[in-house]
Structure 1
Amino acid sequence: MEPITLRERQKERRRNRIYAVAIDLFKRNGFQQTTATDIAKGAHVSRGTFFNYYPYKEAVLLDYGAELVDTLADQAERHLQNGVTPEQVLQDTFKQLAAFCIKDRDLFPPLAYEVLNPDPERARTAYQALPLSKVIEMCLRPLKDQNRLREDLSLERMCNLIADTFLMVALRWSAYNSEGDLEQELKKSLSLMLEGVFRR
């Protein structure tokens, strides 16, 4: 593997600085109220430089969401290796997703809307950046191998349906200022989905 050049290190540091400033501004001032100019000014770069690293403001949130999904994947893999049941790992994953949505309630809708973006390229980029269905697949794969899941749906489709359920329940909760208990809502939704994918 070739060593990282000084220029590449500088670019990485600049991107990290832009990212950190953007997330801080989003949390302090609100996503909609924060402009690319605000972020560029806070990161001490030009507005054009910001767009060199992030083609649109929502792309910063994709990095933010990707960090969460990576953490969930690492934790799920570790817990499964330690003998925690797949069902429990899934429940823990949804509990952590609920905590994320509650903590960053104002950031979740614009992040979720990217997955639903009418621009197919942006929607595809968001879907690839936030592979929650892959974390769910990690949990369901052992159940599939044990022949405990129904056979008329592919594993991929089951995982996508469960991921989509999380997305819509959490989006409805965060976007419409619901005062309900999101953790309980997600727990019920996951239970319902799991009932639907198990063999009868």
Structure 2
Amino acid sequence: MALPAPATHSTPPARVGRRERRSAEIRERLFHAALQLFAERGYLETTVEDITDAADLGKGTFFNYFPTKEHVLATFGGERIAAIERALERAQKGPVLPVLRDLMAGVVGTSTESPAMLRAIYSAHASCAPVRAELHKRLQTARRLMTEIFTLAQKRGEIRRDLPAAELARLTQLLLLGITMAWALDPEGSLPGTAQDVWDMLSPNLQTREKGRKTKSRRRMRS
């Protein structure tokens, strides 16, 4: 004899308390103050005390939220990883090419606020071994997630299969890095616009030959 199912009670979502909101606000203040100083002074020239002074907080407060200065950059990179994770979730539910297009626009979109900040971050990666190691881990994670996206597209016949999904992910990642680095060094024109131009070139070459020919034909007709 089956036991009766236990009664269920709907639990309202927990509200974020004042303390949690305050903690999140302080973390954001530290994060944005740090990025601003990295852009103005450079990563290596910015101290933890500089960051807490700019955020109008005590020096010890910093270490309650970031174990080291390098972890600020890890947070910046983590936002991009989160964007790729969201893209993978979308790709599991629908067509992949629109997801890749939006991902490219979204990733470069997070970089358009300050070319100086990007230059400071690239400089930190080049000159600081712990930061470089953290970047390497993030790149590996991002490439693994993008490989999953390309694998889904290949299984569905949405994109070419003559190149491994991992290789497509690697090449696409290099394109994204190149776009943002080139703009950081010479911020002329629109970064999202450049990303769109690159996507228009890349998309037909990702698709199967038949789909790619149709896409190119439609573009020639529009022009």
Cα distance change of structure 1 residues 104 and 132 upon mapping to structure 2, 3 Å threshold:
farther
Structure 1 position 31 matched with structure 2 position 42: no
Cα distance change of structure 1 residues 165 and 144 upon mapping to structure 2, 3 Å threshold:
same
TM-score, normalising length: structure 2 = 0.63
The match for 1:183 among 166, 189, 192 is 192
Match of residue 5 from structure 1: none
Structure 1 distance, partners of 2:177, 2:91, is 24
| Offset at residue 90 of structure 1 (A) | 0.6
Structure 2 distance, partners of 1:167, 1:48, is 30
Cα distance change of structure 1 residues 174 and 167 upon mapping to structure 2, 3 Å threshold:
same
Match of residue 13 from structure 2: none
Structure ID, larger Rg: 2
| Offset at residue 25 of structure 1 (A) | 1.5
Structure 2 distance, partners of 1:48, 1:183, is 34
Match of residue 102 from structure 1: 112
Structure 1 distance, partners of 2:205, 2:123, is 26
State the Cα deviation string for residues 119-162 of structure 1 (Å, max 9, x = none). 666433212135332343233122221354242x3321220111
Q: Which amino acid in structure 2 is aligned with residue 39 of structure 1?
A: I
Structure 1 distance, partners of 2:50, 2:194, is 36
| Offset at residue 73 of structure 1 (A) | 1.5
- SS of the aligned residue for 2:112 comes to helix
- SS of the aligned residue for 1:107 comes to helix
- SS of the aligned residue for 1:23 comes to helix
Match of residue 153 from structure 2: 143
Match of residue 80 from structure 2: 68
Structure 1 position 53 matched with structure 2 position 67: yes
Match of residue 77 from structure 1: 88
| Offset at residue 24 of structure 1 (A) | 2.4
TM-score, normalising length: structure 1 = 0.69
When the two chains are superposed, the root-mean-square deviation of aligned CA atoms in Å is: 3.6
Q: Which amino acid in structure 2 is aligned with residue 80 of structure 1?
A: A
Which stretches in structure 2 are left out of the alignment for 5+ residues? 1-22, 210-223
Structure 2 distance, partners of 1:169, 1:161, is 12
The match for 2:183 among 173, 180, 192 is 173
Structure 1 position 22 matched with structure 2 position 30: yes
- SS of the aligned residue for 1:193 comes to helix
Question: % of aligned pairs identical?
Answer: 15
Q: Is the 8 A contact 1:99 1:183 kept in 2?
A: yes
Q: Is the 8 A contact 2:40 2:116 kept in 1?
A: no
Structure 1 distance, partners of 2:112, 2:165, is 29
Q: Is the 8 A contact 2:180 2:191 kept in 1?
A: yes
| Offset at residue 111 of structure 1 (A) | 3.2
| Offset at residue 163 of structure 1 (A) | 0.9
Which stretches in structure 1 are left out of the alignment for 5+ residues? 1-14
| Offset at residue 194 of structure 1 (A) | 3.9
Aligned length: 182
